[in-house]
Homo-oligomer: A and B are copies of this chain.
Amino acid sequence: MLDFWFDFASTYSYPAAARIRDLAMSTDTKVNFRPFLLGPIFKAQGWTTSPFNLFAAKGRYMWRDVERTCADLALPFRRPDPFPQNSLLAARVALVGLDRSSDQQSWGDQFCIEVFRAEFGQGRRIDDPATIADILAGLNVAADATLAQAQSDANKARLRVQSEEAERLGLFGAPTFVTAEGEIFWGNDRLERALLWAKRSS
């Protein structure tokens, strides 16, 4: 078992989301997609936006590196404008699809992957309900009802709880992978290692 924590605004979470299911299957590991909000965690450090915007050299490097990483994986890549995107709506909708207590919800993982593709592959705005509705429609999910459910107080609270759990775990960036034993691996380039650890302890 491996928890895959990510924020939809996170650049390196895009290749991680694209890779994780096949890699996990090859090691027979169950993966839980766990969207959360990095904004409050950054804010607690005094950062009002992404560190890639605050620290110019790091930002320049990141854009080149993500471009290279996506090219290696044959993933389309476009730099989102603005960056970071507001990931609140996408995260709320994802939680509806990822709800394990409901039998009919089986589209959560695929929804997450499609949101990343729309954002970083096609340059679409993920804070636009039309983008989210298109993705839901493509998955044969009723868009209006799902968007309404996503914006319910109960679901908003679930995202807050999930984000608080991320903070309690000590997460400070995305993607981050957490094994059942609490071993934390930060970064797309640590996914293989995280899966190895998850396997070792299973």
Contacts and interface: CB of A to CB of B under 8 A. Distances in A.
A170 B45 contact: no
A189 B190 CA distance: 8
Contacts of A68: 183
Interface string A165-202: 00000111100000000011111011001000000000
A170 B61 contact: yes
A61 B186 contact: yes
Contacts of A57: 41, 170-172
A58 interface: yes
A172 B58 contact: yes
Contact-size category for A:
20 to 34
Copies of this chain present in the complex amount to 2
Contacts of A193: 189
A49 B20 CA distance: 35
Contacts of A45: 55
Contacts of A65: 184-186
18 contacts: A45-B55, A57-B170, A57-B172, A58-B172, A60-B170, A61-B170, A61-B172, A61-B184, A61-B186, A64-B184, A65-B184, A65-B185, A65-B186, A68-B183, A187-B189, A189-B189, A189-B190, A189-B193
**5 shortest interchain CB distances as A-B pairs:** A57-B172, A57-B170, A58-B172, A189-B189, A60-B170
Interface of A: 41, 45, 55, 57-58, 60-61, 64-65, 68, 170-173, 183-187, 189-190, 193
